[in-house]
Amino acid sequence: MRLKTFAGGIHPPGNKQWSAHKPIEDCPLPAEFIVPLAQHIGAPSIVCVAVGQQVAKGQEIGSAKGFVSVPVHAPTSGEVVAIEHRAHPWGPALAAVVIKPDGEDRWSTELQPAAPGDLSADDMVERVRLAGVVGMGGAAFPAHVKMSPPPEKKIHTLIFNGVECEPYLTADHRMMLEEPERILQGVALLQYVLGAERVVIGIEANKPDAIALFTEHCAGTPVEVVALQVKYPQGAEKQLIAAVTGKEVPSGGLPMDIGVAVHNVSTAAAVTDAIVHGRPLIERVCTVTGSAIREPKNLRIRIGTPLSHLVDICGGLVEPPGKVIMGGPMMGFTQLGLHVPATKGTSGLLLLRTAEVDLNEEGPCIRCARCLQACPINLQPTTIAAYARRDLVAEAAEHRAMDCIECGSCSYVCPAVIPLVQAIRYGKAAILAKKRNSP
């Protein structure tokens, strides 16, 4: 059978073999949790506990501010020892609640399990919102927002993202293998809430065990399992929709504009926890990997665990890393150190050795057009980057810089090692700044 896919893209080495076969392990509690109030796209939550206060596992410690925002919860029971600015994965220090665990790991008594049959769709969305569920693929967009599209945007196709196209990462893969029921319950709940007619789970062909397992579980249900050709960035929302449905999300639009919604498979599991068990999002699976780590693992971590603790649990470092990356190597963020905490979007911790850090010097563009062939959006990355670097903002915009999804495929393939996507990001920021400043 010919596997489905999208146009463009690249084939970076998967490097998943280091952790793909490792069952998920529960990460022991660290000595201290650093829980940032800003972990999602949208307004940061507002702290609602005080220093010295005892908190229970799952208790709200930061309240949502506005619609595109979610609350933050205590990852374990213990004492709030500080509320201060701490190192944050996004770079600058941001407000965080620091919790010292009491070791009891006692759940809050306020959490209410519910039978899904007793709940309306609106109740379910509210439970997901209160549980602080965000997209688990890495972008951390509040899940309840995608579950409540405006009434004129009818969702007919619901796609679950089990692609995990980022090299090295295996968290979603292990989730699919080990917790298919929890995921599929969330799939059914999301289908009910959105009223979608077609439900698809997209999985890349490098996870044949997951494809087989889900095909078996979904037999006799309306859920389709679609095997996809292995290619980056297939997990990008628009590319996944194109691969599965053959339809393109309009430029500047959202999936709901063509009646589609996409959720990560791990988000579906978190939705199950929220709706059925009333449990907030306080833990996730994170792949700790890279050649600088002694024993790569898939860990079930509590949100707010310092990265240094994850490294300790994985046997420590083989050698001091040259780069600490939160997420995968294509779209992850380099970190200032291991004192930074894991957040709701931390799908992976990748430690590269200094020798692996790419330090090739940039040369002139030889117009080889590889970036055009790699670009999943069909842009001309080299042209846009050249305009952006010369601050020719209008020209960059005219070449559709704003359509760039920043997947980095262009930079990956460029033989002249030009920082193409980096320049385009700069150009996009300049375009937005210009828009804000003009009346």
Partner 1 sequence: MNQQLYLSSSPHIHSGETTTKVMRAVLYSLLPACGVAVYFFGPSALSVLLIATLGCLATEAVCQRLMGQPVTIVDGSAAITGVLLALNLPPSSPWWLTLLGAVIAIAIGKQVYGGLGSNPFNPALVARVVLLISFPVQMTTWSAPAPLGSGLDLVTTATPLGAWKNAVMLTGKLPAEMHGSMADYFLGNMPGCIGEVSALALLLGAAYLFYRRILTWHIPTAFVGSVVLLSGLFWLINPAKYPNPVFHLLTGGLILGAFYMATDMVTTPVSRKGMLLFGVGCGLLTVLIRLFGGYPEGVSFAILLMNAATPLIDRYLRPRTFGVLAGKA
Among 364, 436, 437, 438, binds partner 1 (CB under 8 A): 364
CB of 111 or CB of 416, closer to partner 1: 416
Is residue 132 within 8 Å of 280, Cβ to Cβ?
A: yes
| Closest distance of CB 99 from partner 1, Å | 23
CB atoms within 10 A of CB 412: 19
Respond yes or no on whether the N-terminal peptide bond of residue 180 is cis (omega within 30° of 0): no
Which residues have C-beta within 8 Å of that of residue 359, sequence separation ≥ 6? none
| Closest distance of CB 40 from partner 1, Å | 19
Residues numbered 394-423 forming contacts with partner 1, rule: CB under 8 A:
399-400, 403, 406, 408, 411-417, 421-422
Here the tokens at position 292 are: 């600088």
- End-to-end alpha-carbon separation of the chain, Å? 54
Which residues have C-beta within 8 Å of that of residue 342, sequence separation ≥ 6? 89, 286, 301, 303, 304, 305, 306, 307, 310, 326, 349
Residues numbered 368-397 forming contacts with partner 1, rule: CB under 8 A:
368-370, 372-373, 376-380, 382-383
Per-residue x/- track, 216-255, partner 1 (CB under 8 A): ----------------------x---x-----xxxxxx--
Is the sign of the CA dihedral 29, 34, 35, 39 positive or negative? negative
Length of the chain: 439
CB of 107 or CB of 333, closer to partner 1: 333
Distance CA 30, CA 137 (A): 24
Residues numbered 322-351 forming contacts with partner 1, rule: CB under 8 A:
322-325, 329-338, 350
Residues numbered 151-210 forming contacts with partner 1, rule: CB under 8 A:
167
Residues numbered 112-151 forming contacts with partner 1, rule: CB under 8 A:
none
Among 51, 212, 355, 357, binds partner 1 (CB under 8 A): 357
Q: What are phi and psi of 121, to 5 degrees?
A: -60, -40
Task: Tell me which residues touch partner 1 (CB under 8 A).
Answer: 7, 10, 12, 167, 238, 242, 248-253, 308, 317, 320-325, 329-338, 350, 352, 354, 357-358, 360, 363-370, 372-373, 376-380, 382-383, 399-400, 403, 406, 408, 411-417, 421-422, 425
